[in-house]
Structure 1
């Protein structure tokens, strides 16, 4: 058996999100699960062969979660609006499931804060699916895939 025969490819996945154990529901799209090592360059006098590349810090982009508008929108709205009464960093769990319910991967994020919620564009003459998007900032992964 080759590695290609034993590797499962997740097609048609759902992203389950919870914040400090509070279920925010399933999302159909997740963008921004990434980390970048910020590099600093240093030129050494008299050395013209190369420039030193030094790692400095990690940078995490915001994560954007999108889904069709549904009953779980109230859970997201409650979490986002709670920021008005006090800023508190949370832990977030994003778990990827296949459409038949098998877990593919999971990430724990630390220091999570909601940045933006965008609701659907309501247009009478459009037959599009109404969607919502939640954008969150975080301070890194505490565990991964």
Structure 2
């Protein structure tokens, strides 16, 4: 079976950049999405339907997870700076294959860190130490392609 550039690729990692600061690679990205909130309106005398009117867009928080490593310091430094001057920024998330080929990219506007969870350190279990970053945002745009 041959592969081509149009074949869907299994993404191995997600690289993340916030306002030009490279936060490194993550192996899990959850929550990229948008929901259109609908309002229902009933019209007097019209018994056949209820109007469904779009009202606003609601963006879900994005959770990024990875094993703790050298890039953990970059994330901690960015969080420290972000918490000093908490203002919305722009982030780019790029899905890549094992050889670094870009699969897809998304830009998020109005990014604010919501939660960081560090590793659970326990010598009794042989689990990989992971960290998770959760960010809120106000919109998804076409993202990085390189």
**Do structure 1's residue 140 and structure 2's residue 135 form an aligned pair?**
no
Alignment correspondent of 1:116: 115
Alignment correspondent of 1:15: 14
Instruction: Map residues 44-55 of structure 1 onto 2, 5 A cutoff.
Output: 44-55=43-54
**What are the ranges of 5 or more consecutive residues in structure 2 without an aligned counterpart?**
none
User: Aligned to 1:47, what secondary structure does the other structure show?
Assistant: coil
User: Aligned to 2:46, what secondary structure does the other structure show?
Assistant: coil
User: Aligned to 1:81, what secondary structure does the other structure show?
Assistant: helix
Tell me how many residue pairs correspond in the alignment: 141
Deviation string 1:24-66 (CA, Å, 9 cap, x unpaired) is 0000000010011110000111111111000011100100000
The CA RMSD measured in Å over matched residues stands at 1.6
1:12 positional shift: 4.3
Question: What is the alpha-carbon distance in structure 2 between the residues aligned to residue 50 and residue 6 of structure 1?
Answer: 46
1:7 positional shift: 4.0
Instruction: Map residues 1-145 of structure 1 onto 2, 5 A cutoff.
Output: 7-144=6-143
Question: What is the alpha-carbon distance in structure 2 between the residues aligned to residue 87 and residue 96 of structure 1?
Answer: 27
Question: What is the alpha-carbon distance in structure 2 between the residues aligned to residue 19 and residue 83 of structure 1?
Answer: 10
User: Aligned to 1:82, what secondary structure does the other structure show?
Assistant: helix
TM-score, normalised to structure 1, is: 0.91
TM-score, normalised to structure 2, is: 0.91
**What are the ranges of 5 or more consecutive residues in structure 1 without an aligned counterpart?**
none
